[in-house]
């Protein structure tokens, strides 16, 4: 529930569900036996990443120690699931806790519980864990195996050891193979939709993930960094949203994404909305820094054009929610000419025209039923250009 007492502060006229038939893909799921040392080096080099929607590392040292002991003794451990984005670049579908326990043991450092969210951000931004953090006792502590003893007079010979003091068992540990199932999409090669489906179906962890939570992990780029920045740091945008803080499930990021997608590629829209946004996100991974800078400046000029609007201009008066259909149509419609001419929006958006668009019969019908159909998307954009105008 947000500060205004609303659990859902957005008008979920098209929540982002992919209701179209699932396409057939050529996907392989290949078993591989990477040894422990290889897996540790994959994490260290950034070749293996943890998707952003997955929870942080949560195991305590005792549980991590039991996994390490099992590996030393040659006991079976559960397999890992990895998604191969490209050659030697993987996302972890299942097995984060086991994989990171191995990595931390090899590095002989264990993350402090209160710092794990920050450690996760460092991993994401640095592509690995720099030594300046790894050896900082504020972030990590020594990883010495915490193992119980089955009998009072029978000492566990591995208790208290670390990676460096394993002695003759170190090579045995390093070479211990772990079964990995590597999922890879072979075709179509220009579409990661199957990857989205794999995460959506196999790794919800009992939680209903929103499409944008998965999308953010799959398509993270400098374009997405720009979206995060304007979403969190632009007070005018937060006022228009009717919510002072970013949404926990990234719905506001999806709203920004939809606006840009409609502006740039709306003329080529085809259902489903999930797939359209996925493909646009994939396309934006190749944006130059100049392209992203221009899109940000264009968005800023749109907000300036909204300067005389009431802060509830995009709030649905019937349910007090943010009206996504209205916002994306006004943003894409008013900014289309400026985008085509590679300039910024010049002029002011009239509040009366937005109100007229909101109650326009053709627009309301296209935003009421079958909202993600191509004809209805085109109708909303065309009515926005006709009523609100382009600047």
Angstrom distance (rounded) from CA 299 to CA 234: 11
Whether 53 has a pLDDT exceeding 70, the answer reads no
Specify whether the CB–CB gap between 302 and 345 falls below 8 A: yes
pLDDT of 188 reads 61
pLDDT level of residue 381 (50, 70, 90 thresholds): very high
pLDDT tens figures, 281-322: 999 999 999 999 999 999 999 999 999 999 999 998 888 899
| More confident call, 185 vs 327 | 327
Angstrom distance (rounded) from CA 296 to CA 290: 10
pLDDT of 108 reads 98
pTM of the model: 0.70
Whether 327 has a pLDDT exceeding 80, the answer reads yes
Whether 148 has a pLDDT exceeding 70, the answer reads yes
pLDDT tens figures, 235-264: 999 999 988 888 877 899 999 999 999 999
Whether 160 has a pLDDT exceeding 80, the answer reads yes
pLDDT of 91 reads 86
pLDDT of 191 reads 57
Q: Is the Cα torsion angle 147, 93, 201, 276 positive or negative in sign? A: positive
pLDDT level of residue 214 (50, 70, 90 thresholds): confident
Closest CA relative to residue 16, chosen from 198, 263, 200: 200
Angstrom distance (rounded) from CA 378 to CA 48: 41
Domain parsing of the chain, residue ranges: 10-21+207-387, 26-187
pLDDT of 11 reads 58
Task: Share the mean pLDDT of the chain.
Answer: 87
pLDDT of 323 reads 94
Closest CA relative to residue 323, chosen from 214, 237, 202, 242: 242
Angstrom distance (rounded) from CA 23 to CA 127: 33
Angstrom distance (rounded) from CA 261 to CA 333: 12
Share of the chain above pLDDT 70, in %: 87
pLDDT of 184 reads 83
Question: How far, in whole angstroms, is CA 157 from its chain's centroid?
Answer: 43
Angstrom distance (rounded) from CA 156 to CA 179: 27
| More confident call, 19 vs 290 | 290
Relative to beta strand 321-323, strand 315-316 is antiparallel
Q: List, edge to edge, every strand of the sheet that includes 321-323.
A: 10-11, 321-323, 315-316
pLDDT tens figures, 58-76: 999 999 999 999 999 999 9
Strand partners, 315: 322
> Angle formed by the axes of helices 222-233 and 251-265, to 10°?
120
Encode burial over 229-266: b for 16+ CB neighbours within 10 A, e otherwise.
Answer: ebbeebeebbbbbbbeebbeebbbbbbbbbbbbbbbbb
Specify whether the CB–CB gap between 163 and 151 falls below 8 A: no
Mean pLDDT in residue range 75-84: 91
């Amino acid at each position: 529930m947000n500060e205004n007492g609303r659990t859902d502060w957005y008008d979920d006229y098209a929540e982002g569900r992919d209701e179209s038939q699932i396409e057939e893909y050529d996907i392989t799921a290949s078993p591989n036996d990477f040894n422990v040392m290889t897996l540790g080096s994959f994490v260290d080099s950034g070749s293996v990443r943890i998707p952003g929607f997955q929870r942080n590392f949560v195991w305590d040292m005792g549980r991590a120690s039991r996994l390490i002991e099992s590996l030393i003794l040659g006991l079976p451990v559960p397999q890992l699931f990895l998604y191969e984005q490209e050659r030697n670049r993987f996302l972890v579908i299942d097995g984060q806790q086991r994989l990171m326990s191995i990595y931390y043991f090899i590095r002989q450092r264990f993350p402090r519980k209160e710092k794990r969210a920050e450690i996760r951000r460092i991993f994401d931004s640095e592509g690995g864990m720099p030594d300046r953090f790894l050896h900082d006792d504020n972030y990590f502590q020594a990883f010495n195996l915490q193992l119980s003893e089955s009998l009072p007079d029978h000492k566990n010979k591995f208790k208290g050891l670390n990676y460096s003091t394993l002695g003759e068992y170190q090579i045995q540990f390093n070479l211990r193979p772990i079964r990995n199932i590597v999922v890879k999409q072979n075709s179509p090669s220009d579409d990661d939709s199957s990857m989205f489906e794999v995460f959506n179906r196999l790794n919800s962890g009992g939680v209903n993930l929103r499409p944008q939570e998965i999308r953010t992990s799959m398509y993270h780029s400098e374009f997405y960094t720009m979206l995060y920045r304007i979403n969190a740091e632009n007070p005018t945008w937060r006022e228009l949203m009717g919510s002072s803080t970013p949404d926990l499930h990234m719905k506001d990021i999806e709203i920004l994404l939809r606006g840009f997608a409609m502006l740039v590629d709306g003329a080529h829209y085809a259902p489903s909305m999930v797939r359209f946004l996925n493909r646009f996100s994939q396309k934006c991974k190749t944006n130059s820094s100049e392209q992203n800078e221009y899109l940000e400046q264009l968005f800023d000029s749109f907000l300036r054009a909204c300067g005389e609007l009431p802060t509830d201009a995009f709030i649905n008066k019937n349910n007090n929610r943010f009206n996504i259909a209205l916002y994306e149509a006004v943003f894409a419609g008013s900014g289309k000419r400026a985008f085509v001419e590679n300039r910024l929006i010049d002029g002011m958006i009239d509040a009366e025209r937005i109100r007229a668009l909101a109650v326009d019969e053709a627009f309301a019908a296209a935003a009421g039923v079958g909202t993600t159909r191509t004809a209805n998307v085109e109708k909303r954009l065309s009515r926005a250009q006709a009523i609100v105008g382009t600047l």
